[in-house]
Structure 1
Amino acid sequence: MSPNLKKYDVIVVGAGSMGISAGYELARRGAETLLIDAFDPPHGEGSHHGEPRLIRHAYSGGSAYISLAIRADEKWLQLEEATGLKLLERAGVLNIADTDVYDFRERQNDAESQGVTVEWLTGEQIRKRWPNVKVSDNFQGMYEPYAGYLYSEKAVAAYKQEALRAGAQFIANTFVTGLRTEKDGSVTVHTKGGSYQAERVILSAGAWFKMLQPFLFLPIRSVRKVVGWFETVDSTFDSNVFPGFTIGTKNGGFYGFPSIDGAGVKIGRHDGGVPWEPGKTLAPFGAYPEDEEDLRQALESYLPGATGKLLRGAVCKYELTPDEDFIIDHHPLYKNVVIAGGFSGHGFKFASAIGEVLADLALNGRTSWDISPFRLSRFAS
């Protein structure tokens, strides 16, 4: 290591939802930790703004996801206890899907095998229980009563507060311009404001991973996504009576939330979107006709009581891997560099647990959690 550079045990590049959680875990364990972010989280340049975010435990993708979701739930509650903040609302989540598109039975079986409570519902049962949901008999539902949603921006702010309280250092509004490995195995992180060294590095740059090339190339594409909040006809969509939801249809997949404090029903589309390149201007909501049209059409088809005027629109970024599963692994060349990326629009709920996993990998080189589905080597071909 150069004697002129400030040295740390671990540097975290990208202090959004995953990075800030990891920073807290590292500092709490006594590691001298530096967090560097291109902005100042919570902010609107990544994937965590425009709260809330769904948290579900009956997850597609097998046991690794379900175990991680259960652990994440525990960790969110621990953060609530540490800060005194309300971060998780157990409003329930209603998952509905056209049976020609998706069947929940396998997911239900996987979830129940790990003790997750779920209810399987027919289209008729959905309509009876939630009269404001319009589905045909060809639809089925899976309701998770102990699921709900997280206040994402508040959660990121809480982790930042606790990371700093635990001794982590933070550099905001600073882009990383390059990384270099040294002869002794340490890593130098260069920024416009200076350079820093660490024995270990965690890279969690979200939709901005391309900015870290050529040090690391990942099969991640960044996509512009939109969400909207719509006025409702009555109080049946209020958060005290209506759950979070997902809708799988032949015309796309959607997700959303009840009206929280009169904000309107929030809805977004999981598939589709417009490609975006880091550093390029992100078009505002309404720049494309489909920004509102896609969301409104879904509401008209399935939640017709929530098709009032658009109260608010927002844009964010997805970081998509080819299979939409995460990447959590070591750098293929440098085992003291840990990668966390490709959270593909469904990762926030796991952030509390992923921070723990990343700290394990950085400090111990391994973790007790099953991250085999998230290995970078699956894209080797």
Structure 2
Amino acid sequence: MNACREDESISKSYDVIVVGAGSMGMSAGYELAARGAKPLLIDAFNPPHNMGSHHGEPRLIRHAYHGGDTYVKMALRADEKWLALERATGEKLLERSGVLNMAETSFYDYKGRLGDAMRNGVQVELLQADEINRRFPGIRLDDSFQGMYEPNAGYLYSEKCIAAYKQQALLAGAELLVDTFVTDIRADEGGVTVYTREEAYTASQVVITVGAWFHMLSNHVKLPIRAVRKVVGWFETSSTAFDAGTFPGFTWGGALGGYYGFPSISGAGIKIGRHDTGVEWLPGEPIAPFGAYPEDEDDLRRALHAFVPGAAGKLLQSAVCKYEFTPDEDFIIDAHPEHPNVLLAGGFSGHGFKFASVIGEILANKLEKKQTGYDLRIFELSRFSSQ
């Protein structure tokens, strides 16, 4: 057992215990400590790490979002809070590269998203294929594609974000146990006890936000979350047209699948990943390295050839991470159905990291029985009651 505050002994009683100190958990821990609570954060590894969903920078942040006003308002608030974290730490966390979303019109229509964005004051443009090709040299789209461009969107340095929240949480008085597996969680009206292999810790409330590892706690909470192995690759580019500062973050979708990616940052090459598909993974099992399946590189390269052929060069770097999907790909933010002092937060992968800053605020507000300011009904567990 390792305690990040080695100058003080870890006590055993807290106001709140946060199980899982990754993207959402670390943000929540900071929010709670900054408000004067006494939180304990427990993580099976030492964040930031490569055993979850937050490694392999960067992550897109967009504001013109699918899913309606709730997501758009949360994305805008998340942006504000990332900037506040930048100011607090002096660390550059957010780059406003712009984000260009591209899709075959037979697969996706951006009109609904545009309406939600405009109602919330998000600057956004609807672009036809010829205009995209003209404005972004290197992209090659035919007339079956349409695009939506957000000039004020961009990307976050995910591992730096986790490290920044970790620093601020500890400065605010949070305690953090790393490399510590939780073996049991027991809740009743009197409080919650969280057991590790070495100790037991008590609190009046607990937040469980363990990402792709929820299956490890299936004896205590069963959520409709599926963990999936995902791969990303960085590919050599043929010109400076793909460099950061010139090329935007992007999404691209159609008959070949759904993809996302980033410009070449400091010569690292264009980063691209596939959002759909993936091999199911059970927590605790080995995860196959990049290249274990032919499609690991083939799928990514096929997409690059289709719309940015000048960025389909040599594979420079690769990574494997984990998604945690709900059936509808919306988040879970809700109390345990049997224990109101157990708050559950999961199903964030694929599009959740950008929201980590505001999710921490939402979780802290819910624990304090405060209004969150958002309609969170789309994240309630009751939507799965028929399954």
Query: TM-score, with normalisation over the residues of structure 1?
Result: 0.97
Corresponding residue SS for 2:92: coil
Residue of structure 2 equivalent to 1:111: 117
The one-character-per-residue Cα deviations of 1:317-350 (angstroms, maximum 9, x if unpaired) are 0000000010011111111111110013110000
Q: Distance in 2 between matches of 1:89 and 1:17?
A: 18
Q: Distance in 1 between matches of 2:334 and 2:373?
A: 13
Residue of structure 2 equivalent to 1:32: 38
Distance 1:164-1:88 versus aligned 2 partners, 3 A rule? same
The one-character-per-residue Cα deviations of 1:181-202 (angstroms, maximum 9, x if unpaired) are 24x4200000102110000000
Corresponding position: 1:288 with 2:293: yes
Residue of structure 2 equivalent to 1:364: 369
Residue of structure 1 equivalent to 2:228: 223
Give the alignment partner of residue 239 of structure 1, picking from 244, 247, 254: 244
User: Any conservation in 2 of the 1:41–1:156 contact (CA below 8 Å)?
Assistant: yes
Residue of structure 2 equivalent to 1:346: 351
Give the alignment partner of residue 205 of structure 2, picking from 194, 200, 203: 200
Percent identity (aligned): 64
Letter of the 2:110 counterpart: F
Corresponding position: 1:68 with 2:74: yes
Which stretch shows the higher mean deviation, 362-371 or 43-52?
362-371
Alignment of 1:135-146 (within 5 A): 135-146=141-152
Residue of structure 1 equivalent to 2:331: 326
Corresponding position: 1:90 with 2:96: yes
User: Any conservation in 2 of the 1:325–1:344 contact (CA below 8 Å)?
Assistant: no
Unaligned 5+ runs, structure 1? none
Residue of structure 1 equivalent to 2:136: 130
Residue of structure 2 equivalent to 1:59: 65
Which stretch shows the higher mean deviation, 15-24 or 356-365?
356-365
Corresponding position: 1:267 with 2:267: no
Residue of structure 1 equivalent to 2:26: 20
Corresponding residue SS for 1:73: helix
Aligned-residue offset at 1:209? 0.4
Corresponding residue SS for 2:30: helix
Letter of the 1:30 counterpart: G
User: Any conservation in 1 of the 2:335–2:342 contact (CA below 8 Å)?
Assistant: yes
Q: Distance in 1 between matches of 2:336 and 2:375?
A: 18
Give the alignment partner of residue 284 of structure 2, picking from 279, 300, 305: 279
Q: Distance in 2 between matches of 1:12 and 1:369?
A: 22
Letter of the 1:101 counterpart: F
Q: Distance in 2 between matches of 1:50 and 1:126?
A: 28
The one-character-per-residue Cα deviations of 1:45-66 (angstroms, maximum 9, x if unpaired) are 0000000000000000111000
The alignment of Structure 1 onto Structure 2 pairs a total of residues equal to 376
Give the alignment partner of residue 307 of structure 2, picking from 291, 297, 302: 302
Q: Distance in 2 between matches of 1:33 and 1:133?
A: 48
Q: Distance in 1 between matches of 2:185 and 2:334?
A: 18
Residue of structure 2 equivalent to 1:10: 16
Corresponding residue SS for 1:266: strand
Corresponding position: 1:250 with 2:255: yes
Q: Distance in 2 between matches of 1:91 and 1:293?
A: 27
The one-character-per-residue Cα deviations of 1:157-193 (angstroms, maximum 9, x if unpaired) are 00000000000000000111011124x4200000102
User: Any conservation in 2 of the 1:60–1:107 contact (CA below 8 Å)?
Assistant: yes
User: Any conservation in 2 of the 1:40–1:173 contact (CA below 8 Å)?
Assistant: yes
User: Any conservation in 1 of the 2:101–2:250 contact (CA below 8 Å)?
Assistant: yes
Query: TM-score, with normalisation over the residues of structure 2?
Result: 0.96
Letter of the 1:176 counterpart: V
RMSD between aligned residues: 0.9
Corresponding residue SS for 2:18: strand
Q: Distance in 2 between matches of 1:80 and 1:100?
A: 40
User: Any conservation in 1 of the 2:258–2:275 contact (CA below 8 Å)?
Assistant: yes
Letter of the 1:117 counterpart: Q
Aligned-residue offset at 1:366? 4.8
Corresponding residue SS for 1:137: coil
Corresponding residue SS for 2:127: strand
Letter of the 2:57 counterpart: E
Letter of the 2:132 counterpart: I
Corresponding residue SS for 2:368: helix
Residue of structure 2 equivalent to 1:337: 342
Give the alignment partner of residue 380 of structure 1, picking from 363, 382, 385: 385
User: Any conservation in 2 of the 1:337–1:362 contact (CA below 8 Å)?
Assistant: no
Letter of the 1:58 counterpart: A
